[in-house]
Amino acid sequence: MNLTKKDLSNAPKIIVVEHLNKFYGTFQALKDVSLSVQQGEVVVVIGPSGSGKSTFIRCLNRLEEHQSGRILIDNTELTNDVRNIDSIRRDVGMVFQSFNLFPHLSVLENITIGQIRVKKIIKTEAEKIAMELLERVGIPEQAKKFPGQLSGGQQQRVAIARALAMKPKIMLFDEPTSALDPEMIAEVLEVMKELAKSGMTMVCVTHEMGFAREVADRIMFFDHGQIIEQATPEDFYNNPKSERAKLFLSQILGH
Amino acid sequence: MVKTKTDPVRWLKENLFSTPGNAVLSIVVVLVVGLFFKSLLEWSFTKARWAVIPANFRLLMVGPYPLEELWRIWASLIAISLAAGFSWGTSTREQPLPRAPFVLLGAISLLALVWQFGNPSGTLVPVACAGLVAGVFIGRAIRTENRIHYFLWTALFFVCVILIGFDFGRGEVPSSLWGGLLLTVLLSVVSIVASFPLGVLLAIGRRSKLPVVSGFCIVFIEVVRGVPLIAVLFMAQLFVPFFFPPDFPQLDKVARAIIGMTLFSAAYMAENVRGGLQSVPSGQDEAARAIGLSATQTLFLIVLPQGLRAVIPTIVGQFIALFKDTSLVEIIGLTDLVGIGEAVRNNPDWLGVTREIPITLGVIYFIFTYSMSLAAKNLEQRLKTSN
Amino acid sequence: MLTSDSQINMATRVPFYRDVKVLAVIAQVVFVLLVALTIWILGQNLNTNLKTRNLSTSFEFLGRTAGFQVAEGSAFGVPFSSEDSYLKAITVGLYNTLRVSILGIVLATILGVVVGVARLSSNWLVNRIAVIYVEVFRNTPLLVQLIFWYFAGVLTLPKVKEAAQFGGAYLSNQGFFMPWLVQKPDSISFLPVWIVAIILAIATFVFLERRRVNLGSNEPAGWIAIGVLFIVLVSGYFVLGQPLELDLPRTTNFGIAGGASLSPEFAALLIGLVVYTASFIAETVRAGIQAVNKGQWEAARAIGMSYTQTLQLIVLPQALRVIIPPLGNQYLNLTKNSSLATAIGFPDMFNVLNTAGNQSGFNLQTMLIALLVYLVLSLTISSFVNLYNRATRLKTR
């Protein structure tokens, strides 16, 4: 079954999730979720709010702990093993809805702190890498400023640079544009598109349908903690199979 | 607040006589306050024997501290003025020099020079003021990193404690000879400094996900906060020696008081710090973990710096409270400011002098606490605008 | 589609020293061991010290004769003499602590609210005086204030012979004395009448309030309730055959006797605690009222409420939610601060315990008792505050 646009038939599976279950008390947030993502693939996760899509990607780097099932990132299983958790966190970058930049550190320090403290790179080298990344996201002139002095869009671009500085194999995006004013969404999406073109494996939770159509290799539709449907963007938008997906699409596109 | 110059009649009308009720209120208040001030002034210019204050001024300031060792205190004072000037100078480098504080310092120097001419304080008070001014200019001239203040003040703290107590060839000055304002300041500063690391540890412990650790911290914090300081001080005096091996050298009264006040203050510090840590959004923790920082790194590099910054004004507030609370050591027999005051009041030479001493003590405490609370307010404003 | 890849399966068997769950348990065990070790070392030292000093840890001394007089107060109504036990002496102390705390809390609340409201007054003079009051009393130590009130205040009042007199009351350096109604000897107790009167008055008030809201009648419920209280008390007085008489204070050779009295120590402590705590309560009240959104005033006025209605029905209920928790803290502080009584010789619980400890040598036990009682008092007050918080939270849903 061809679910993706790109030809990734030879690419290794970099994320494998099997029968994942997650509970908050008695509420089941994720129900028997299984999927795999290949290297270089861009997966966009959509679904109504409270459908478990955020919980799902937060499980991928252990910001949330799952109760049963397995998660394998680049052939390393996410277990209680500290060493595995540390190595997976190093391989997986994450961008948050509310940026979560460190307000007491300058933009440059935000990007270097992980390199220096986790990867033990010397400061000058780390700063060089940071400046290159700031160049890449288009705001090298903001390096000395503090996050509070930047616009939302600029902050989110710094957050992307901060994640990229760790040289991750996978990037997770948790609604990266939901907290932004409309005029700033474009600049962040531009950076994400560029990143996708460069061959980064990406899992994005987003409502940006334009972005999904243009960049995604695969759309994954979540509802009530389950994957309801997986398809290429064309298939999904043009003829969704499930009733719930049809309803969801009519609600977000129908206005 | 009156912003523009309005004519006094209109001002009176708006602020005192806006309604008939207000007018009656104003007149009654003026009468009562006037009567109060009249009798206060009458008393303080005719009956009061203010001579008791200058006659015992040195006692009130330093207690029984030996006269020939007073240079230690002057040296500490001058060092502190220099450092205070320096910190003030660096932190206001971008602003124009204010004039009022310098006029005030000049006035103090002049007053000391004239009033105490020939006495050591006649020359040393102006020297301390000059040190402060010099510090301001040095601070404005030199480009420094913010970090230098931490080192400077930590070093200064130890230098002063050593300077005040230790042996310099002519013997040490035992803590039993420390007294008056000196002891009050020392007790409060040492206790707040010592309680800081303890309080931070307790706060972190209370937030711990490990139930045993958080349970222990909660019990300690809540028990100490539920008990009056005076009980803690008595317990420290009575029982601290019990917890040391029998052959351990006896801790003196001051050290025991410091232990009691530190434990007491740590519980309150813990709650303040916890408030600061709670004000750091959980996203900060998640972001730090997501880029691979360990739990310890996250705490010390991300959460604590932000949390502590948020509670600096609260900690100043706690210091003010502690500064006032040190007065309780008088009850366990130490000669702090209040202890000396009581000794003077009970001195037969000054029989019948009852109000002058507590009023003066009140004024001394007020000067310290009120200026600190102004500083805290200022700091709070600055922190708010910088975010 | 479970892949049985051997390399992957290897990873599921985690060595214990890398398992986060196990590490958490280990961290706790290490912490417990460290704490236990510290406590053990301290306990060992304590034990040897107690043995070498021949100190006991039993509480049997509580039953022994105290042998000292407690200057004032009683064991909740039962008078105390120096032949009574330590336990009874401590009970008298507790009674005195509660007496001064409860009276202090009531008066400090009244004064604090008045000053707090004055702090928001549009009258410049009133406003300034409130500010000065708050700053002066908040920024000086309570102990200095107590010393002032006692040695420079109450004790400098005129001697008994020259005591200031007004309407049968005396003000002297031996305390404050005023006429008081007391039970006649061999008469029927008047206490039940008080209880009945208060219950009836409250019931009347609640009933009239309900009726006012439900039926729209317009009686002044407060005044009627006070009237009911008064009528029940007076009729009770006559029905029981006039069991009360007015006891007037009079000067004797030993001082002043009769009537109700406040000792100089009690008066100074009460004034000190009330004046000091009120300055903090005033700030709490001011902050609470200012915390209520200005829009609330405007909205209430817009639906036609009067100034008093707005304050009573809209602003105060919201301000109270902000005020009550810190107010509870202030009550707690007042109760704890009452232990400063030691400094001016008022026999509160801590003072009595300290005396008992020093005299009997059972300091360890008396301090433990102090610790426990203050903890119970603190927990009681904070649980009341929590109860209030819970109640108001439910109401807002």
SS3 of A146-186 = CHHHCCHHHHHHHHHHHHHCCCCCEEEEECCCCCCCHHHHH
CA B278 to chain C, closest CA, distance in angstroms equals 18
The mean pLDDT of A172-190, rounded to a whole number, is: 91
In this prediction, residue B200 carries a pLDDT of: 94
Binding partners of B (≥3 Cβ pairs within 8 A)? A, C
Whether residues B291 and A61 touch (CB distance < 8 A) is answered with no
pTM of the model: 0.84
Residues in chain B: 387
Whether residues B387 and A148 touch (CB distance < 8 A) is answered with yes
- Segment among A191-205, C168-182, C266-280, C360-374 with least mean pLDDT: C168-182
Pairwise CA distance, residues A60 & C214, whole Å: 60
Pairwise CA distance, residues A126 & A112, whole Å: 6
Tell me the average pLDDT of chain C: 84
- What is the ipTM for the molecules in this complex? 0.88
Q: Using DSSP, state whether A220 is helix, strand or coil.
A: strand
The residue in chain B having the minimum alpha-carbon distance to the alpha carbon of residue A86 is B292
Most confident of B100-109, B289-298, C11-20, C289-298: B289-298
Structure tokens at A169: 């194999």
Pairwise CA distance, residues C263 & B31, whole Å: 31
| C134: nearest Cα among C150, C158, C148, C113 | C113
CB pairs under 8 A between A and B: 60
Structure tokens at C321: 């939610």
Is the predicted pLDDT of residue B310 greater than 80, yes or no? yes
Split at pLDDT 50, 70, 90, the class of A3 is low
Please give the DSSP secondary-structure letter assigned to residue C58: -
In this prediction, residue B224 carries a pLDDT of: 93
- Segment among C58-67, C160-169, C378-387 with least mean pLDDT: C160-169
The residue type at A159: A
Whether residues B366 and C136 touch (CB distance < 8 A) is answered with yes
Whether residues C135 and B212 touch (CB distance < 8 A) is answered with no
| A241: nearest Cα among A253, A252, A228, A251 | A228
pLDDT digits (tens, 9 = 90+) for C119-141: 888 888 889 999 999 999 999 99
Report strand pairing: A42-46 vs A218-223: parallel
| C133: nearest Cα among C121, C118, C144 | C118
Structure tokens at B56: 């015992």
Helix B180-207 and helix B211-225: axis angle, to 10°?
A: 150
Q: Are B337 and B181 in contact (CB under 8 A)?
A: yes
Is the predicted pLDDT of residue C397 greater than 50, yes or no? no
Q: What residues of C are in contact with residue B324 (Cβ under 8 Å)?
A: 139-142
Most confident of A80-89, B292-301, C211-220: B292-301
In this prediction, residue A175 carries a pLDDT of: 92
C19 CB near a chain A CB, below 8 Å? yes
The residue in chain B having the minimum alpha-carbon distance to the alpha carbon of residue A85 is B292
- Segment among B18-32, C174-188, C316-330, C335-349 with least mean pLDDT: C174-188
Pairwise CA distance, residues B308 & B304, whole Å: 6
| B306: nearest Cα among A111, A103, A110 | A103
C124 CB near a chain B CB, below 8 Å? yes
Q: Residue C145 is inside which H or E element, if any?
A: helix C142-147
Pairwise CA distance, residues C165 & C143, whole Å: 30
Structure tokens at A84: 């595995």
pLDDT digits (tens, 9 = 90+) for C28-52: 888 889 888 988 888 888 888 878 7
Pairwise CA distance, residues A126 & A132, whole Å: 10
C391 CB near a chain A CB, below 8 Å? no
B101 CB near a chain A CB, below 8 Å? no
The mean pLDDT of B70-98, rounded to a whole number, is: 85
B114 CB near a chain A CB, below 8 Å? no
Q: What residues of C are in contact with residue A16 (Cβ under 8 Å)?
A: 3
The mean pLDDT of C312-317, rounded to a whole number, is: 81
Whether residues C31 and B16 touch (CB distance < 8 A) is answered with no
Whether residues B226 and C374 touch (CB distance < 8 A) is answered with yes
How many C-beta atoms lie closer than 10 Å to residue C255's C-beta?
Answer: 16
Q: Between residues C215 and C287, which one has the greater pLDDT?
A: C287
Is the predicted pLDDT of residue B285 greater than 50, yes or no? yes
| Torsion, CA B234, CA B239, CA B241, CA B242, rounded to 10 | 170
The mean pLDDT of C91-120, rounded to a whole number, is: 93
Long-range contacts of B353-358 (CB under 8 A, 24+ apart): B353/B49, B353/B52, B354/C151, B354/C152, B354/C155, B354/C156, B355/B43, B355/B48, B355/C148, B355/C152, B355/C156, B356/B48, B356/B49, B356/B50, B356/B52, B356/B53, B357/B52, B358/C144, B358/C145, B358/C147, B358/C148, B358/C151, B358/C152
What percentage of chain B carries pLDDT values higher than 90? 35
Split at pLDDT 50, 70, 90, the class of C2 is very low
Helix B229-239 and helix C363-396: axis angle, to 10°?
A: 150
Which residues 6+ apart lie within 8 Å of B303 measured at CB?
B277, B280, B284, B285, B288
Tell me the average pLDDT of chain B: 87
- Segment among B37-46, B230-239, C183-192 with least mean pLDDT: C183-192
pLDDT digits (tens, 9 = 90+) for B311-356: 888 899 999 999 999 999 999 999 999 999 999 988 898 888 888 9
- Segment among B313-327, B348-362, B367-381, C70-84 with least mean pLDDT: C70-84
CA C8 to chain A, closest CA, distance in angstroms equals 7
pLDDT digits (tens, 9 = 90+) for A202-238: 999 998 888 998 899 999 999 999 999 999 998 998 8
Tell the residue number behind the tokens 């907290």, with chain if given: A179
B387 CB near a chain A CB, below 8 Å? yes
Split at pLDDT 50, 70, 90, the class of C394 is low
Tell the residue number behind the tokens 């042998």, with chain if given: C67
pLDDT digits (tens, 9 = 90+) for C193-252: 888 999 999 999 888 888 877 776 667 778 888 999 999 888 888 888 888 888 888 777
Considering only the beta carbons, identify the residue of A86, A89, A104 that sits closest to B306.
A104
Split at pLDDT 50, 70, 90, the class of B58 is confident
Is the predicted pLDDT of residue C5 greater than 70, yes or no? no
Q: What residues of A are in contact with residue B291 (Cβ under 8 Å)?
A: 89, 93, 113-114, 118, 162-163, 165-166
In this prediction, residue C13 carries a pLDDT of: 62
In this prediction, residue C395 carries a pLDDT of: 52
Is the predicted pLDDT of residue C11 greater than 50, yes or no? no
The mean pLDDT of C373-392, rounded to a whole number, is: 85
φ, ψ dihedrals at A213, nearest 5°? -60, -40
Q: What residues of B are in contact with residue A92 (Cβ under 8 Å)?
A: 290
Q: What residues of A are in contact with residue C15 (Cβ under 8 Å)?
A: 81
C26 CB near a chain B CB, below 8 Å? no
Is the predicted pLDDT of residue C6 greater than 50, yes or no? no
Whether residues C148 and B359 touch (CB distance < 8 A) is answered with yes
The residue type at A226: Q
Q: What is the largest CA-CA distance in chain B?
A: 77
B 301-320: CB under 8 A from A: 301-302, 305-306, 309
Residues in chain C: 397
In this prediction, residue B387 carries a pLDDT of: 53
B209 CB near a chain C CB, below 8 Å? yes
pLDDT digits (tens, 9 = 90+) for C143-159: 999 999 999 888 888 88
Residue in A54, A90, A110, A118 to test binding to B, most B beta-carbons within 10 Å:
A118
